[in-house]
Amino acid sequence: LNRRLAEFGTTIFAEMSALAVKTGAINLGQGFPDTDGPEEIREAAVRALRDGRGNQYPPGPGIPELRTAVAEHQRRQYGLSYDPDREVLVTAGATEAIAASLLALVEPGDEVIALEPYYDSYAASIALAGGKRVPVTLRPDAAEGRFRLDLDELRDAITPHTRLLLLNTPHNPTGTVLTRAELTEIAKLAVERDLLVVTDEVYEHLVFDDGDGTTHIPLASFPGMRERTVTIGSAGKTFSYTGWKVGWITSTPELVTAVRSAKQFLTYVSSGPFQYAIAEALALPDSYFASFREGMRAKRDLLSEGLTAAGFDVYRPAGTYFITTDIRPLGESDGFAFCRALPERVGVVAIPNAVFYDHREAGAPFVRFAFCKKDEVLAEAVSRLKSL
């Protein structure tokens, strides 16, 4: 293994899902739903397969139907307009979009700022690109019940070598949704310091308004941002088909062309028949997105209340399908040790947030649980965790 990748080992998701299988524990670790998405969308994929649409290599940028549907989705949801022919690129999930964006836009030695804790592929993709990662730590704010970005820390992290900001909102694993005020400041900084931004918005449809008006606002919609932002989306999260690996980016023709240069040598293309199905999925009525979100909100509430009753300090997420907890009230302080022992102790798998940090000590007492599971599975997990 080369030096760029030597520090990474096996992704925590593979390790913890294998542990769940081995011990028969309830898997609230890796984020995938235990119920498939809409049947009509699955049938759309079956039809594409049967009709021979997408069974051979689809076009490099993605099938026109899907690119048009992505552009239409950005217009309908956010009033952002993208040319489907020049400003949309279909990728093998968000994972490839992240890797291809960094490989295309980062020079060896460039600094890339990412909000810590960060989704595990960010660090590896920055490393593959030869970049230097510069973490800015989201700080737990017990009074507000959320993890917060310190804008001064972000400002201080920018140097003449900073090439790119890699953002994620709604944020995995903390569930933080960046506010309009925070995004406004981030956008100002990016413009002032002439930075590119790659923004991972795969949880855009999992934002819960708890009466405070919280909503997803794409960074590309702020002044001066559209021309410097690569926005990443994924069908896996929104339509509950994580195995299909259909993702996309929207950006300027120049940035899309750059990312495509890298993408064409990673997978070239992927997911032929599924692209047709997701083109139909993106055109589902608003009621689909609302009921998906409300269903997940109920699960969030179920698991948040259960974890609180089991003695965890809970950071109730404004978005995503993850809950970050603090295990210190249980007399624990090492999330790694806690998660490794949890399947044997009570038959539940969770993810230690420390794996998402460079400053491991900052993440040590935090543990992530996924709530994209059947109510009875969540209830059983809670009853097991109560015996801790």
Residues that bind ligand GLN (CB under 6 A): 11, 13, 30-31, 172
Q: How far is the CB of 86 from ligand GLN (least distance, A)?
A: 29
Q: How far is the CB of 172 from ligand GLN (least distance, A)?
A: 5
- Polymer length of the chain: 388
Q: How far is the CB of 12 from ligand GLN (least distance, A)?
A: 9
143: nearest Cα among 356, 359, 354, 313: 313
Nearer to ligand GLN, 288 or 369 (CB): 369
Binding partner at 30 among ligand PMP, ligand GLN, none, C-beta below 5 to 8 Å by kind? ligand GLN
Q: How far is the CB of 13 from ligand GLN (least distance, A)?
A: 3
Options 15-23, 88-96, 107-115, 311-319: segment touching ligand PMP (CB under 6 A) = 88-96
Nearer to ligand PMP, 168 or 179 (CB): 168
Nearer to ligand GLN, 258 or 372 (CB): 372
Nearer to ligand GLN, 30 or 184 (CB): 30
Judged by CB under 6 A, the chain residues 52 through 81 that form the site for ligand PMP are none
Nearer to ligand PMP, 113 or 310 (CB): 113
232, 202 Cβ separation under 8 angstroms: yes
**Any contact of residue 199 with ligand PMP (CB under 6 A)?**
no
**Any contact of residue 206 with ligand PMP (CB under 6 A)?**
no
**Any contact of residue 240 with ligand PMP (CB under 6 A)?**
no
Beta bridge partners of 253: none
Please identify the residue of the shown chain whose CB is closest to the bound ligand GLN.
Answer: 31
Q: How far is the CB of 335 from ligand GLN (least distance, A)?
A: 15
**Any contact of residue 202 with ligand PMP (CB under 6 A)?**
yes
**Any contact of residue 125 with ligand PMP (CB under 6 A)?**
no
Nearer to ligand GLN, 60 or 243 (CB): 243
Q: Which residues bind ligand PMP (CB under 6 A)?
A: 31, 93-95, 119, 168, 172, 200, 202, 234, 236, 242, 245, 247
